[in-house]
Amino acid sequence: MALLVGAAVAVVGYRNVADPPIDGQRLGFTLRDESSVEIRFEVTRKDPSRPGVCLVRARSLDGDETGRKEVYVPPAEGRVVLSPVIHTSRPPVTGDVYGCSMQVPAYLRPSGATVPGGAGGG
């Protein structure tokens, strides 16, 4: 039985890595000043009617992460392009998309929003 459960977990994990339900790709970035960077990125989802969340980050010249931001991705009919500004603790040299998820924390959801198959927002 444990072997079957392990195999099922492996298959689901592989499907989500090989063909994730949500994906964020950087389109570009603009260094705004010594303490902020604007990142432009595109999000695609298997089910664009569901909201998502992406974590974007800024990095300094030595590669250290100097800022991060969770970005709510609203439901849409197709791809979504977003341009958040990340405030940094040191001068940024780049911005990138760290990753995206369909598991939107309640504190990011618009008031009263619900997630299909999930709990209501707040």
Q: What is the 3-state secondary structure (H, E, C) of the chain?
A: CHHHHHHHHHHHHHHHHHCCCEEEEEEEEEEEECCEEEEEEEEEECCCCCCEEEEEEEECCCCCEEEEEEEEECCCCCCEEECCEEECCCCCCEEEEEEEECCCCHHHCCCCCECCCCCECC
Confidence bin at 121 (pLDDT 50/70/90): very low
Q: What predicted TM-score, i.e. pTM, was given to this entire model? A: 0.76
The 10s digit of each residue's pLDDT in 35-50 is 999 999 999 999 999 9
Residue 89 in this model has a pLDDT that exceeds 80: yes
Q: 109 pLDDT exceeds 80?
A: yes
* Separation between Cα atoms, residue 47 and residue 28, nearest integer Å: 25
Question: pLDDT confidence of 122, banded at 50, 70, 90?
Answer: very low
Beta strands 22-33 and 36-45, pairing class: antiparallel
Residue 114 pLDDT > 70: no
pLDDT given for residue 15 in this prediction: 46
Task: Of 101, 15, 16, 3, give the one whose Cα is nearest residue 51.
Answer: 101
Instruction: For the domain made up of 22-107, give the CATH fold.
Output: Immunoglobulin-like (2.60.40)
Residue spans of the domains in the chain: they are: 22-107
pLDDT-derived band at 94 (thresholds 50, 70, 90) equals: very high
